[in-house]
Amino acid sequence: MHESLALLRALAINVARRHGHRVLVIKGESLSHHGLRERSTHADVDVLVAPADVDAYLEAMAAIGWRSRMGRYNDYPVRNHSVTLIHDTWPVDLDVHRVYPGFLRSADEVFDVLWSRRQEITSAHQGVDIPDFSSSALILALHSARSRADNSRHAAELAHLIHLSAGWSEQQRADVAEVARATGCSQALDEVLPLMGVPVSTDDGASPADIVRWRHVIHGEVSSLEAWRANLREQPVHRWPGLVWHAVWPSEEFLRATSRIPPNATDIDGIRLKRLTDGAARIGRALKVKLGWGTATTPVSAATQSAQPRPGEPPLVSVVIPVYNTAAYLEDCLTSVLAQTYTNLEIVCVDDGSTDDSLAMLQRIADGDPRVRVIRRKHEGVGATRNTGIRVASGELLTFVDSDDVVSPTLVETLVSALGHTDAVMSGWPREGRIVDSATAIAEGIRLGTLNMHGKLLRTEVLRDHTVLFEEDLSLREDIIFNAGYLLQARRITLLPEQLYKHRPRPGSLTSAYRPHKYEELTSANSRLAGLTGHLHTPEFASLINYLQIRSLISAGLNLHHPDSQVPSASAARLLRTWQRDAGDLPVRHGDPKMRVVGLLYNALGLNGTVGLIHWLKGLRAKLPG
């Protein structure tokens, strides 16, 4: 079957090119080529033909033996957007589309946009024109959205597309938005595009009447009825009785042409009755929705609700693992996550454009465990990678694990058991487990250095309702800002003393590498944190912010002594004096003894003296045995 499909794609385009027609192969292989749908066996090839070329193209295909499956019912109202061609010696069909439903600008405008962006792939050793990535994504969204509500495959395809879109760059989203506007499908997909992070345009050229008709299709399940009504309006009144009877009780020839009933079927009246009762049921459901007596189940709603937990089930926990060039550590990490005693998990591995064997390792592990999902994206940094994980997560609860770390087998079970009615669980806190408010959790987290991503359990609903995401332009302190932003939206937080997360320092990691702009990065992060938590600034909290700023200055100063630093000593000393002057006074009058000692040391010795002392002590410790 695969060979027949490949040959038919090549034939369809070969005929088009020989006769000067513009034809695109859509759906099927074009979606698989762009990674929008997994390859599967279909019984047809779909093509979209330039409107001016449709009749001539059908004649050219007829000349080599391809005829309409519907025969004289070729303009059957419900299917007048396409013609299905069959051939006596081919096991597959060719669906020739005049227009594609859901693109609501004129057919000529739509085709010109898609054609101008076309790409070429190879099928049966011949070049074949297909729509580009953005156009194909919209075709898939429209195809799934207009499907029958009970078509689980199309709902699953739409859910898969929504999940994939979380890994798109902002440039990709903007491009999809532009194609949607140019083809008039932005408003037609106003329920789908926001789920993919794509803005909806209200100036996409679609007429209000077309939008209403489209919404009847995707919400009301009355597309057949609307098509027949439209057909009646175009016919003389004296033909209406015959057309109505034909719609209600069609001929055997019509049924065999349009319904694909088995050739040996004999109970034609039974088929008519089933067709009639099924249609009446769909129309009844549609009318109930239209009158406000019920809610439509559409492929869109089915796709977005498919991940909702069933009553009585333990909540699904999404474990988000950002991955970048950690092949040497990755297997240990995933082994520890897959060994969790809590089993209702999905493991979302987001590869940030790794250049080592990380992606191949992820795919191998995913092939052996259906709980593991792998998402590939171009390299944009840890913040963007974690945000992708948040967007695609299906779980009610979410936790992060770095791909070079390992966790205790009881990590997730312990966190879920402790959650109760609070909005977060944070492990690794000293003292016995307790429940605190957001201000206490933020203050203690800054003081203790525990506002990292290790051993935290968060509610996905809180993340999404308040758009809590990582700052994508930061790679230092982004975890503190993220956690503080989340905690500000949380009502109560559970703090646990258990150390269930093992952080493994490694050479070349972000925290151990030399960073020429570390001072600027830390200063920017601290400024954002201060702005985020401004309403908490009591004298005690002001001391915390000053303490964090002092630690940042010391860290940036020690970075100048890194083996990879090429900053001369004299220049480093001048930089430290400048940084201290720019920071101004940083009194630490409140807090625990450690905070006050750091504050006293800094204010007594200055930044140069403090950095020099700590650098000397670190060197001395390195020389001591053991």
Secondary-structure class of domain 313-509 per CATH? alpha beta
What pLDDT was estimated at residue 128?
96
What pLDDT was estimated at residue 460?
93
489 CB-contact burial (10 Å; exposed 0-12 / middle 13-18 / buried 19+): middle
What pLDDT was estimated at residue 604?
87
Q: Which residue has the tokens 């492990």?
A: 427
497-507 CB burial, b ≥16 within 10 A, e <16: ebebbeeeeee
Q: Which residue has the tokens 């080592």?
A: 356
User: Which two three-digit tokens encode residue 259?
Assistant: 């319904």
What pLDDT was estimated at residue 611?
85
- Strand partners for 393: none
- Strands 501-502 and 406-407, bridge-based pairing: antiparallel
What pLDDT was estimated at residue 541?
80
> What is the domain partition of the chain in residue ranges?
2-220, 313-509, 514-626
Q: In terms of Cα–Cα distance, which of 293, 149, 292, 155 is closest to 221? A: 149
- Strands 493-495 and 424-426, bridge-based pairing: parallel
- What distance in Å separates the CA atoms of residue 225 and residue 600, rounded to the nearest whole number? 81
User: Which two three-digit tokens encode residue 225?
Assistant: 């009825």
Instruction: Return the H-helix or E-strand segment holding 12.
Output: helix 2-18
Q: In terms of Cα–Cα distance, which of 504, 515, 440 is closest to 477? A: 515
- What distance in Å separates the CA atoms of residue 75 and residue 79, rounded to the nearest whole number? 7
Secondary-structure class of domain 2-220 per CATH? alpha beta
What pLDDT was estimated at residue 256?
58
Where would I find the H helices in 508-583?
518-532, 539-559, 569-583
What pLDDT was estimated at residue 295?
47
User: Which two three-digit tokens encode residue 503?
Assistant: 């952080």
DSSP state of 405: -
DSSP state of 295: -
> Can you state the percent helix, strand and coil of the chain, rounding each to 5?
50, 10, 35
In terms of pTM, does the model score above 0.75?
no
What pLDDT was estimated at residue 527?
83
What pLDDT was estimated at residue 75?
47
How many other CB atoms are found less than 10 A from the CB of residue 44?
16
- Strands 126-130 and 44-49, bridge-based pairing: unpaired
The amino acid present at 453, given as its one-letter code, is: M
What pLDDT was estimated at residue 439?
86
Domains 2-220 and 313-509 equal at CATH topology level: no
User: Which two three-digit tokens encode residue 562?
Assistant: 């890194």
Weakly modelled stretches of the chain, pLDDT under 70: 1, 38-43, 70-80, 147-152, 216-235, 243, 246-247, 251-267, 271, 275, 278-312, 432, 506-512, 537, 624-626
What pLDDT was estimated at residue 465?
86
